[in-house]
Amino acid sequence: MRPVHQSGLGLVACVCLCCTVQPLLAATAVSPQLNGDWTGSASGNTYHHQDSSSTSPLVEPAKATATATIVQAGNDLTIAMQITPTGEAAFAISFAGKAGDFAFWGRGSFIDSGGTVEEVFASGHFTAKGNKIVGNMLFGGNDITYVGYSLTKTTTAALTRADRALGLISVTASNSTDPPFNVAGKASGKTYTFATNAKAAKYSAAVTGAFVPATSTASFTFAAADGTQTFDTMYGDAEKASAFLGQGGSENIIMFLKTSTSSGSGTGWIFGDTRMVEFKISAKKQ
């Protein structure tokens, strides 16, 4: 399950593929606190880099068990998680993020077998009772691993929040000689506002993008009913999959797309201190 980490995109700790996990309830109750210990599992796929010298299949299943300790203070969230991939050694991830409105996001890091700090992104939804979480995690590197996960609370504890420093994203310029190109498409999903317990609002936007393959960068503009946002991203490619990480103003964006030579579709998140937008996206090369 743990990706091979070479050049390309290193994602923060961080997508059953190409599906957005739906909330477990209509948000009519008070969004609960998540403090306590949790246990569960994760499954998905690892997409190996097209130029990898590995003899492994280009796409292979990724499965693991997981345990976590969550500390929440208001909307601030930290997660200490241990992942044990099938047939591999366990590794620890430290997440920090925001929670509320029955959803959360977390960015985190872990140390790989070579001693390098790598990054991963996670999103999740939880029940009104605060005892069940379902979500997705996206690991990036030379290879890309995208998994769905579920956690069940085992104990509740009053815990002390600890701040954790996160590593920075880095991208090595690709060797691509492909010329720049544009894409156009659409995104739709839901917006979770952490300061409220309101039912998640619908989100819809027209999407345009401009790619520069030589530098592994892309700019995306989302034109929604409540305004337009532009995000400058870095991206990494693996076998028929790409992962994007970027920023626009005070918010961040992460996307996982299954790709062909002319189109891509998948899942993405716009997230910051006050909200998380979780959406499906599809786009075609122009």
Task: Put residue 180 in one of left, alpha, beta given phi > 0 → left and psi -120 to 50 → alpha.
Answer: beta
pLDDT band at 121 (very low <50, low <70, confident <90, very high): very high
Q: Please give the DSSP secondary-structure letter assigned to residue 250.
A: T
Structure tokens at 9: 């995109």
pLDDT of the residue at 177:
83
pLDDT band at 155 (very low <50, low <70, confident <90, very high): confident
CATH number of the domain that residue 210 is part of: 2.40.128
User: Nearest Cα to 158, choosing from 34, 67, 30, 40?
Assistant: 34
pLDDT for 214 beyond 50: yes
Rounded Cα–Cα distance for residues 36 and 151 (Å)? 12
pLDDT of the residue at 156:
73
Rounded Cα–Cα distance for residues 88 and 81 (Å)? 16
Q: Would you say residue 56 lies in a domain?
A: no
Average pLDDT over all residues of the chain: 82
pLDDT of the residue at 122:
96
Rounded Cα–Cα distance for residues 201 and 130 (Å)? 21
Weakest-pLDDT range from 32-41, 49-58, 168-177? 168-177
Weakest-pLDDT range from 20-34, 84-98, 206-220, 261-275? 20-34
Across residues 150-160, what is the average pLDDT? Answer: 74
Rounded Cα–Cα distance for residues 168 and 117 (Å)? 9
pLDDT of the residue at 102:
92
Q: Would you say residue 196 lies in a domain?
A: yes
Residue scoring higher pLDDT (48 or 268): 268
**Does the CA dihedral 110-4-245-15 come out positive or negative?**
negative
Interior angle at CA 43, CA 267 and CA 251, nearest 5: 30
Strands (E) in 157-286, as ranges, are: 181-193, 201-212, 217-224, 227-238, 241-248, 251-259, 263-271, 275-285
Across residues 191-213, what is the average pLDDT? Answer: 92
Q: Would you say residue 241 lies in a domain?
A: yes
| In contact, 81 and 147? CB cutoff 8 Å | no
Domain span holding position 256: 181-285
Q: Would you say residue 268 lies in a domain?
A: yes
Q: Would you say residue 89 lies in a domain?
A: no
pLDDT of the residue at 64:
95
Q: Would you say residue 230 lies in a domain?
A: yes
Q: Say how many domains are in the chain.
A: 1
pLDDT band at 40 (very low <50, low <70, confident <90, very high): very high
Q: Would you say residue 267 lies in a domain?
A: yes
Residue scoring higher pLDDT (147 or 111): 147
Per-residue CA distances from 84 to 43, 61, 66, 89, 172 (Å):
11, 14, 6, 6, 29
Residue scoring higher pLDDT (177 or 191): 191
pLDDT of the residue at 125:
94
State the pTM of this model.
Answer: 0.78
Cβ neighbors of 240 (< 8 A, separation 6 or more) are 47, 58, 59, 258, 259, 260
- Give percent of the chain above pLDDT 70: 79
Q: Would you say residue 44 lies in a domain?
A: no
Rounded Cα–Cα distance for residues 98 and 78 (Å)? 8
User: Nearest Cα to 137, choosing from 246, 45, 56, 265?
Assistant: 45
Across residues 235-250, what is the average pLDDT? Answer: 89
Per-residue CA distances from 158 to 80, 95, 206 (Å):
15, 18, 44
Rounded Cα–Cα distance for residues 265 and 285 (Å)? 12
pLDDT band at 29 (very low <50, low <70, confident <90, very high): low
Across residues 83-97, what is the average pLDDT? Answer: 92
pLDDT of the residue at 3:
37
Weakest-pLDDT range from 24-28, 213-217, 258-262? 24-28
pLDDT of the residue at 168:
31
Weakest-pLDDT range from 15-19, 20-24, 117-121, 184-188? 15-19
